[in-house]
Amino acid sequence: MTQLPLSLWEAEPILAHLSAVADELNQPAYLVGGWVRDFFLTGRPVSSLDVVTVGNPTLFAECLARRLQTTIAAEYRRFYVAVVKWQHYEIEIVASRRESYTPDSRNPQVEPAPLEEDFMRRDFTINALYVGLHAAEKGILLDPFGGIRDLAQRFIRTPTDPARTFSDDPLRMMRAIRFAVKLGFEIEAATFEGIQREAPRLHIVSPERVVEEFHKILLSPDPVRGLELLYKSELLEQFLPEVAALAGTETQNGYAHKDNFAHTLRVLEQLLSQRPDASLWLRWAALLHDIGKPVTKRFDEKLGWTFHLHEEEGAKMVKSLFQRLRLPLDERMRYVQKLVRLHGRPIVLAQEGVTDSAIRRLAAEAGEDLEDLILLCRSDVTTRNPHRRRRFLQNFDRVMDRVREVHAKDQLARFQPPIRGEEIMRVFGLQPGALVGAIKQAIRQAILDGIIPNQYEAAFAYMQKVAPYILAGQPVPQELRQNPQDEERKREEVSTPHEEKVESARTREVTHPRRSRVKGSP
C-alpha cells in the first residue's frame, strides 16, 4: 500500500482544511488528477486541487468556504461541481459520479455514483490516482488502473477501452498529445490507435476548446513533436487541414519537391532554438508561413515544381483559418498575415546592390515586426549544406544592417510625407478628396523609392512637377517615377552571370531532378 507522508498535511495547510471538512461531514473525499500526478512526478504540490467527494459537493464547498473565511467562487449544479478559491489555491470539488454521452455531443448526462464508477470516467491512468483526505484513508493512494506504473514507464494510457474514452469526449485525444509533449511521455500503442480511429469525432468539439488545447501544445516544451503526433494521429487534418496538406512529396518527369510539412516543422524548431520564448503568434506565423504552397503548386516542364505567389495566397488563407477556429481577428491575426505575406521578401533583398528604396519599402511594410520577420526568414533556411546556410544567414544579417543604415539616414520609423494634405489643398485650390490623396501618395512613393530625399524642399518641388499630371488625369511620366540608382543597377545586371542571379530564385522553390533544390534556395 502506498501512502503519502502525513507531514505533507502540516506543510500544506489546505490539505489539513480539506481533511477537517471531510471528517466534519463524515463525507469521504479524495485528491485526484493533476495534483496527485504532479506530486508523484516532481515531489512538489501545486496550487490547483481537484477533490472528489462521495456525497454532496455543494455542502462540502460551503463548509470549506466557511472554514477558510471565503465564499464559493462558482457552482455548476448540473455537473455536481463547486469551486472555492483561497489565497493562491483553486479547489474544484466534484461529486463521485457516472457520465453518459450521446453520439453528437461531448456534454455528458451526469448523476452521482459510487467511487468505483468515478474511476471509470477518468481520461488516463496517470490522472486516475486518488489520495484519501478523510481519517479512514488519509494519505492512502488508490490506483485502480496502474497509474503509478505508467508514470514510472512514462506512458499515456486510457483506463478503459480507448474507443469508449475518446468517443465519449473527443477532446481527450488532444489532451493525450498535450500530456505527451508536456511530460515527455509516450502514448501507449493501443491508445494511439484509438486516437487514429476516433479522430473524426473531434468535429463535435467546439473550435474554442480545440484551440485551447492546441495552444497548450504549441506553447509546450516540444511543439514540434506535438505537431508530429497530431499529424500521425490524423487529428491535425480535422482542425488544421491547411497545415496537414503540406505533407508529402510529388515527383513528375524526374522533378520532386520537398515535403513542406517536414520543412515547416524544421522552421519552427529553428525559430525556437533562436528564441525559446517566442510568442504564441510568432509560432503561428512559422506554422502557417507556407500554407499557400499546396494551392499554388504547379509543374513546369522546364522549371519543375513552382509555388508562385504562395506568400500572398497564404496570407489570404490566414483570415479564413482564424475565422473558422474563432481565433482573434484583430492585430494578432494581422501580425500573422504580415509575416506570412512578407516572409519571401528579405531573401530577394539579401544581395549586394539592393536599393535604399527596396529597403525602405520592406521596413515600412514590416514596421515594428521587422526583427520577427527576419527571425522567421532565418529559420526558413533549412538547407543541409553548411556553406549555403552560412551564406544565406549572412545575407539576412546584411539586410538588417541595411535597414539600420537607411533608418539612420532618414528616420524611417517616424516617416511621414513632409507635405500635408492641407498644404496640397491650399497650393492647388482643392477640396478634400481623392486628388489630394493621390498627390500625397505620389510624394510618399517618391520618398520610399529614393527618387527624392525625405525633406520638405525636395518634396514641395516634386509636388509641383507631378501635380499637374495628376490633376489632369494623366499618368506621371516615367522619368519622374524612376530612381537613378535603380537604373544604374539594371545596367549592372546586364553583365551579371546567370549563376549569380539565381540566388533570387528563392521564391520559385524549384527542385532539380538530381538535387534537392536549385542552387541558391535555402
pLDDT at 495: 45
Helix 331-342 and helix 370-379: axis angle, to 10°?
50
Quick one: fold of 160-239? Hydrophobic Seed Protein (1.10.110)
Residue 220: DSSP 8-state: S
Instruction: Note the Cα 107 to chain centre separation in Å.
Output: 27
Q: What stretch of H or E contains 202?
A: none
- Render pLDDT for 435-456 as a digit per residue (tens, 0 to 9): 999 999 899 888 878 898 888 9
In a 3-state reduction of DSSP, which class is residue 49?
strand
Task: List CB contacts of 518: < 8 A, sequence separation 6 or more.
Answer: 502, 505, 508, 510, 511, 512
User: How many Cα atoms sit within 13 Å of 8 on the Cβ side?
Assistant: 21
287, 398, 449 from 268: Cα distances, Å: 7, 23, 34
Give the pLDDT of residue 111: 83
Burial class (CB in 10 A: 0-12, 13-18, 19+), 47: exposed
Q: Give the model's pLDDT for residue 352.
A: 57
Alpha helices (runs of H) in 343-483, residue ranges in sequence order: 345-349, 356-366, 370-379, 386-410, 421-428, 434-448, 456-471, 478-481
State the sign of the Cα–Cα–Cα–Cα dihedral 383, 385, 386, 391: negative
22: closest CA among 30, 13, 14? Answer: 30
pLDDT tens, residue by residue, 317-371? 999 999 999 999 999 999 999 999 998 877 777 665 667 778 788 888 888 898 8
Q: Which of 284, 297, 293, 382 is nearest to 339 (CA)?
A: 284
DSSP secondary structure letter of residue 200: G
Q: What is the SS3 assignment for 61-84?
A: HHHHHHHHCCCEEEEEHHHCEEEE
Q: Which of 348, 399, 349, 347 is nearest to 371 (CA)?
A: 399
DSSP letters, 374-412, are HHHHHHT---S-HHHHHHHHHHHHHHHHHHHHHHHHH-G
Q: Residue 388: is it exposed, middle or buried by C-beta count within 10 angstroms (0-12/13-18/19+)?
A: middle
- DSSP classification of residue 160: S
Hey, which residues does 156 pair with through a beta bridge?
187
Query: What pTM, to 2 d.p., does this model score?
Result: 0.75
Domain ranges in the chain are 7-153, 160-239, 416-484
- Read off the pLDDT of residues 266-284 as tens digits, 9 standing for 90 and up: 999 999 999 999 999 999 9
69 contacts: CB under 8 Å, gap ≥ 6: none
Looking at residue 304, its pLDDT comes to 72
Output the tens digit of pLDDT for each of the chain's 522 residues: 788 989 999 999 999 999 999 999 999 999 999 999 999 999 888 899 999 999 999 999 999 999 999 999 999 988 899 999 999 999 999 999 887 777 777 677 778 889 998 999 899 999 999 999 999 999 999 999 999 999 999 999 999 999 989 988 999 999 999 999 999 999 999 999 999 999 999 999 999 999 999 999 999 999 999 999 999 999 999 999 999 999 987 777 767 668 899 999 999 999 999 999 999 999 999 999 999 988 887 777 777 767 777 889 999 999 999 999 999 999 999 999 999 999 887 777 766 566 777 878 888 888 889 889 989 988 988 877 788 778 778 877 877 787 777 766 655 445 667 898 999 999 999 999 999 999 998 998 888 788 988 889 999 999 999 999 999 999 999 888 887 666 555 555 444 443 333 333 343 343 433 333 333 345
What integer pLDDT is reported at residue 409 of this predicted model?
64
Identity of residue 511: T
Q: Which amino acid is at 98?
A: R
- Cell output for 191: 491508445
7-153 domain in CATH 3.30.460.10? yes
